[in-house]
Structure 1
Amino acid sequence: MHVHSPSELPEGDPFGAATLPYGIFSTPDAPDRPRVGVRLGDHVLDAAAAAAAHGSAHAGLLAQPTLNALMAAGRPVWEAVRREIRGWLQEPYFLPLDAVTLHLPFEVADYVDFYASEHHATNVGRIFRPGMDPLTPNWKHLPIGYHGRAGTVVVSGTDVVRPQGQRKAPDAELPSFGPSLRLDIEAEVGFVVGTPAPAATPVPIGEFREHVFGVCLVNDWSARDVQAWEYVPLGPFLGKSFATSVSAWITPLEAFDAARTAPPERTHPLLPYLDDSAAEPGGIDLRIEVRINGEVVSRPPFASMYWTAAQQLAHMTVNGASLRTGDLYASGTVSGPEPDQLGCLLELTQGKGPYLADGDEVVLTAWAPGADGARIGLGEVRGRILPARTA
């Protein structure tokens, strides 16, 4: 079939030849054969078919039902496969995007969520701890994070059932149980680990590119009433673990080279393993858009994040924790300094609500500036709220 060449794509298409994100797709005639695809505009390159037809040495990696084998192969292979794919863009191995089924693109090994936005942490601190310093004493010294639940990471388009749990109103003597009344979103950016690292082998900031395969959008849904009651002293648990939505597309890290930017000025001296003053700019100028039921409610700027993905990876492994192919770590809620740049309803409504209602649909999209005026896209994250299952 004919597909528009990169030069024929609409101007500003965020999925042009400079982006080329990876995903896993299947077709109606072979629903049990998911394989690697690469997005170009509104089409999907059947990378497995193209690789087989050309006798590529990497054909086996591209015929797999997840991206894990490709991600585990390491950066030299990632670069070689990307070069090959660029050579296949004019060939007849494309399918319309709306004719395929997209799947969770990688098997999630571990999931870590950080708390890297100073604006978000300050706003939440004022809501949860009024009258106290909004930032905890450790916040400017290390990227705070928690381990989430890898088994409830779901692909964009998956409905989210309203969670149940304990919650306690401020004026109530005892907690109650039932569906969350304060269901929220968290607009985040995720980083997917390709090359593993053994235990007791910390990954320094300078080796970030050797381990991180790509970038995706994340919505880490949050039950704020459950969270507020449970989080002292050990932090998030049931308020977060019911669902985390990720894009069906993983954009290679190097696609964002032209969007790298310096993080905000550090206000506290950093310990050597987190000191990025001599490293490449660790921020990414990603512009996120949050829509609820089709209405834009926020445009959070990822460039404002205090802690970078390289620092988060260094901190995550400094104690000797291993890295596994498929590890996903997310930035935490992305919020900027302006009222229309807040990445969750808790902040947007100053904790007063309204929060998400049954039937609401949330869609996150994002893009970054590329070379020569190109736009680099991240696949959307879409999710609709279903009523709690109380029976």
Structure 2
Amino acid sequence: MLDQHVLVLNCGSSSLKFAILDAQSGDELITGLAECLISEDARLKYSYQGQKQTESLIANASHQQAITRLVDIIKANKLERSLIAVGHRVVHGGEHFTQSVVITEHVKQVIADTISLAPLHNPANLVGIEAAEKAFDTLPQVAVFDTAFHQTMPKHAYLYALPYELYQQHGVRRYGFHGTSHHYVAKQAATVLQQPFETLALISAHLGNGCSVTAIKNGVSVDTSMGLTPLEGVVMGTRSGDIDPGLFNFLTQQLGYSAVKIDTLLNKQSGLLGLSKLSNDCRTIEDAHLAGNAQASLALEVFCYRLAKQIAAYVVPLGTLDGLIFTGGIGENSQLIRQKVIDSLNFFGFKLNEQANSQARFGQSGVITSNQTGPQALVIPTNEEWMIARDAAALALEVI
């Protein structure tokens, strides 16, 4: 079979994460990150054939300049010969896209039209797309949307109890994010459980600096914790998750906060960082907790309680439960948080296998419970890049 290598690009506002993967096996040829773009400290780091390299880019380097340098590296190592597509992670596709698509002028216009729903992400995604089109003008460009997997949610799950005109005229509804990750780990869990993906009731907890929980029934997303923006839902690294909307009035009227200050507070100063007063890094907080830091312990308790409560709630749309999946940096590596959450959910019949739980770290996957009946808990490392590569390859082969 011919090589199916895909260049995967993930553009942030000041960064560019990239990888070339074999879409069939998931094997990586090269991975890297251009960071601090549009600043004096712009630099590019990458790993190829076991060798790690770091180099400075020109001051205030743009995404286009970072991609130009990336192209030079790819061509110097003759990696472009097997490329069949470029896959782009796009954060928000609104209601327009229920699956990945080959990028056209129309697709780019829709991404631009959705900027109001993702003002920090979609503009950067468009910059990456246009830069890649110039650099790889003969390759199909494919957009893979964070929101697409959740477009199967029923209306009663995604609507807010607001005047209906806000949805009709402005698209105000719950969209959800991390869809590529949730879809990937759910399919992997079906393989581990040796059951058809289309018959399972699964809950996936993607836990990193951003956290979301998704209910997956018969192969499709039926509810998810993030909403119009990635701020809604469970406690995260620096984001508050669900709060009383009346807080806005209190902060503005009583404390004189501006809208910008409130946005900064809820997105960048809250969550684990705000509660612990230490860090948004779960490893730092766990170390402090084990050393007896009461504030760190409180942050972990709030995080785990809210997470367990959200997981339990998703049995409502599922009606039953076959498996609970932990993924993301925290979900894949924190045996303490997994233990606390599973202990809170013991009414489901979970019996934690402590040895399996302690071993499920640094890319190790598998079942971490040992109950003979009822749902199982699993750790499944996510691989959004491979999912993007697979979608891009499948669509590229249709148009080649």
TM-score for both structures, normalised by structure 2 = 0.32
Structure with larger RCO (C-alpha < 8 A, sep 6+):
1
- The answer to which structure has the higher strand fraction is 1
TM-score, structure 1 length as denominator?
0.32
Which structure's residues are more often helix, by fraction? 2
